[in-house]
Amino acid sequence: MLTIAKGAEATISLDGKEIVKERVKKGYRLPQLDEALRRRRNRSEAALLRAARRAGVLVPQVIEEGDFSIKMEFIGGDKVRDIISKENCVEISKNIAELITKLHGSNIIHGDLTTSNMILKGDTIFFIDFGLGFFSPRMEDKATDLYLLHEALESTHFNILEKAWDTILETYRHAYDEGGKVIKTLAEIEKRGRYKER
């Protein structure tokens, strides 16, 4: 197995055509608490991946679920972060927004919507890494998902931010029944953010 990424929570390894995500022990936590947390987060991520597929969002298929690890299919392709440009940002942003509406329509919060967690394979976008995700029907949580995406676009893709973000909001509003309510909540979150910066 080849280790391809190490994060604070997990190690990602490539095993042939499969990815293994293993949640690492935390020495500073009580062993029982550490095991319970890692087991719960692992179970939650596997459940989110399965629910996302049922909602029509392409994600890696879960092949095997252990107590602290998930074996899933490897998605070959390019990170959206590396290929989004002025020329293709409208089309890609529209696609991203449609996928988010499917997640939110099933009360799935991704929790880390960045272009690094989106892979373009052919003409299709896959969402990966639901490690910070959870289920929630709350407008606030859905709006926060969008807010974090805006923050990611602002820091990584400033040159296309306006065009990409306008497309995402426009598509989200029209493709999701509660899109208008979520965007209204998003405006309130942005206002609170600006207030804190003063």
Residues marked as catalytic: 112
Residue with structure tokens 């042939």? 16
Dihedral over Cα of 162, 164, 166, 169: its sign: negative
CA separation for the pair 15, 93 (Å, rounded): 32
Q: Where are the beta strands (DSSP E) in 93-180?
A: 108-109, 118-121, 124-127, 134-135
Q: What is the DSSP string of 161-180?
A: HHHHHHHHHHHHHHHSTTHH
